[in-house]
Amino acid sequence: MKKQRWFWGFFFILSGILIIVSKLNLIPIEISAWSLFFTIFFVATTIQSILHKNVFGTLFSLAFLAIIYAKPLGIQAITPWTLLATTLLISIGISMVYRPKKNIYKNCSKKAESLYGNTNMQYEQSNDGFYKMHTNLNSSTRYIHTDDFKGADIRCRLGSMKIYFDQANIQGNHTDIYLDIELSSVELFFPKTWKIEKNFNQSMSGCNEDELFSNETTIIEATVTLHGSLTTSGLDIHYI
């Protein structure tokens, strides 16, 4: 998370400097200030997406760069919506064929998978209290009931998920939840006694969190750290 702040911090500083330089006509190439800003932005998201092996982020960043420079590239005949739709289909196809390995199970043993509900939803509860919930091209709602919650892996692609943790208890004072969300909307509902720390990467995504601690008597029982990545998605964090 610290490296990400440094990355985007330098991005905004460089963008501000280049916009001023472009207004002073010190750049030989004829380009508007906003085109320059978005060029730097999408180059930055491309680099970051490649480093994180993020297919959607990489291809969509390149697609937006192609839209900005359609005239120099000679592709004005391709409308932006056609290019974005094509990028979406290619991204989905590559994601289905190529899945980069993520070492998020190093502390969890391999468990047998079981299916619940529709065939696009994989739901697994490990014996040691670690949950895996996967949704593809569908919507799902899950309620976690356990007295010994030890973490979760949440994956959602082209879908929506609602997951309630208000009936879960953490025996220790900390646990982790891993996110892998692409082109999806996910809502997480936590007890007010949990402190949520956000330590995930975002690419063209947004995260909204309810205000907490308006009542000074609230006692924090456990801390949950969110890891992973959001790509062209929305994450809502609620407290109930």
Tens digits of residue pLDDT in 127-153: 578 999 988 888 889 999 889 999 999
Co-location of 200 and 137 in the same domain: yes
Query: Which of 63, 97, 131 marks a domain boundary?
Result: 97
Co-location of 191 and 78 in the same domain: no
d(C-alpha 196, C-alpha 213), whole Å:
12
Interaxial angle between packed helices 55-68 and 80-97, expressed in degrees from 0 to 180 and rounded to the nearest 10:
160
Co-location of 86 and 128 in the same domain: no
Co-location of 17 and 121 in the same domain: no
Q: In this predicted structure, what is the pLDDT of residue 204? A: 78
Co-location of 119 and 17 in the same domain: no
Whole-number Cα distances in Å, 218 to 147, 172, 192, 198, 203: 21, 18, 8, 20, 33
Q: What percent of the chain stands above pLDDT 90?
A: 29
Co-location of 142 and 218 in the same domain: yes
Q: In this predicted structure, what is the pLDDT of residue 194? A: 93
Co-location of 80 and 17 in the same domain: yes
Q: In this predicted structure, what is the pLDDT of residue 30? A: 62
Co-location of 88 and 127 in the same domain: no
Q: In this predicted structure, what is the pLDDT of residue 34? A: 74
Q: Is the pLDDT of residue 81 over 60?
A: yes
Enclosing domain of residue 87: 2-97
The tokens describing 27, both together, are: 């750049």
d(C-alpha 98, C-alpha 102), whole Å:
12
Co-location of 93 and 161 in the same domain: no
Domain-embedded: residue 105: no
Please count the structural domains in the chain: 2
